[in-house]
Structure 1
Amino acid sequence: MATENNENIQDVNDKEMDINPVEAQEQNTEAVEENSFEAELEKEKDKFLRLFAEFENFRRRTAKERLELMSTASEGVITSLLPVLDDFDRALEQIEARDLETDLKGFSLISSKLRDTLSSKGLMLVDIAKGDVFNADLAEAVTQVPAGDEMKGKIVDIIEKGYKLGDKIIRFPKVVIGQ
């Protein structure tokens, strides 16, 4: 009977030996699958975060473009009104020269009303004056005239005023610079 028990124990040990490699292989396969799932999960998380970041950038960019579009939407209308402003300025200069008081008051009222309306829409005068150093980013040189050393490279005369709508210059001032 002892030999029979030994044989049974040996059979059980043999069976355990047979099961252990299979179980070990199954556990190994499960670990590999778990690692591949974790890697795939990390890959999908990274993909999601990148997509989310890209969407946020797109949202910010379109919001910025929308604000810029709204601030310069009336640019065409205002640009077409700028020659009217120039005509008012020339008429005012002529009236001031002749000293016609009542005409001057009427034109001044109309001019100031038009300027106030346009400035409420975001129109601003480009800040440039005679004697300033010429900057090609802020003004357009129409011509150069001989001038003394002190006016060399500086604005001698402003032929046409410049205007900007918001931060964008919609018409550059036309100037004469000293040579």
Structure 2
Amino acid sequence: MVEAENTPENADTGVSEPQEDLLSDPQSLLDEQKKAFADLNDQYLRLAADFDNFRKRTARERESITTRANERFAVDILEVVDNFERAIKSDEAHLREGIVQIQQLLAAQLQRHGIVPIESLRKPFNPQEHEAIAHVLSDETAGTVIDEVSRGYRMHDKIIRHAKVAVSKGNEKNTEV
């Protein structure tokens, strides 16, 4: 068996030879750079396409979730509509009782969906919950809600409709001082 001599051409076993080839051959270096660029560009285009598909998929999912939530709410409200139809067909003696029961059912359905009324009467006026439509002289302290024209509602922690209220200005005796 013949052993290879440790001569300068055998000493560098492939490590410096390719570098020397690339440096000595600028065209192959350019080709390698072009190939690396093409690979990176391809990865970028695939990533951009994946992100676009992800964005479209999440938008569809969000729309689907909203649609299903609206459907569940609609089914609950349809139960109230059915009860109104029954109340209309009933006789006069039971009509008021039926309407009161329907109002209670509707309030329960709304509460199940996180919608609750805002209590306003005899509370201090709060512009974040109330919309003042009148200021009236009364025996109540100035700034107190004395009448609720239209009830306000909150859904979870957000006001979805402000209560339309009349607010006390106090009585005349106190305002003349």
Taking structure 2 as the reference length, the TM-score comes to: 0.51
Gaps of 5+ in 1: 1-19, 85-102
Distance 2:126 2:65 in 1: 28
The 8 Å contact of residues 134 and 165 in structure 2, kept in 1 or not, is answered as yes
Does 2:159 match 1:158?
no
CA contact (8 A) 2:117 2:151 kept: yes
Aligned 1:19-168 pairs, distance under 5 A = 24-25=25-26, 27-67=28-68, 69-70=70-71, 106=94, 109-122=97-110, 126-147=117-138, 151-162=141-152
SS at match of 2:120: coil
Range 117-126 or range 166-175, more displaced: 166-175
Offset at residue 32 of structure 1 (A): 2.2
Q: What is the alpha-carbon root mean square deviation over aligned residues?
A: 4.3
**1:175 corresponds to 2:161:** no
Question: Which amino acid in 2 is paired with 1:119?
Answer: A
Matched to 2:148, the amino acid is: I
Whichever of the two has the greater Rg, that structure is 1
Whether the aligned pair in 1 keeps the contact of 2:118 and 2:163 (CA below 8 Å) is no
Distance 1:60 1:51 in 2: 14
* Higher RCO structure (Cα 8 Å, ≥6 apart): 1
Cα–Cα, structure 1 residues 35 and 125, in superposed 2: closer, same or farther, change >3 Å?
A: closer
Percent of pairs with identical residues: 16
8 Å contact kept, 2:122–2:145: yes
Give how far 1:48 is off: 2.2
Q: Distance in 1 between matches of 2:30 and 2:150?
A: 82
Count of residue pairs brought into register by the alignment: 133
Q: TM-score, normalization: structure 1?
A: 0.50
- Cα shift readout 1:4-51 (whole Å, capped 9, x = no counterpart): xxxxxxxxxxxxxxxx79x93553243123212222123213312431
Q: Aligned to 2:104, what secondary structure does the other structure show?
A: helix
Deviations 1:118-172 (A, max 9, x none): 2354265513132212234433322111356x72222122234345688887765
Separation in 1, partners of 2:72, 2:156: 7
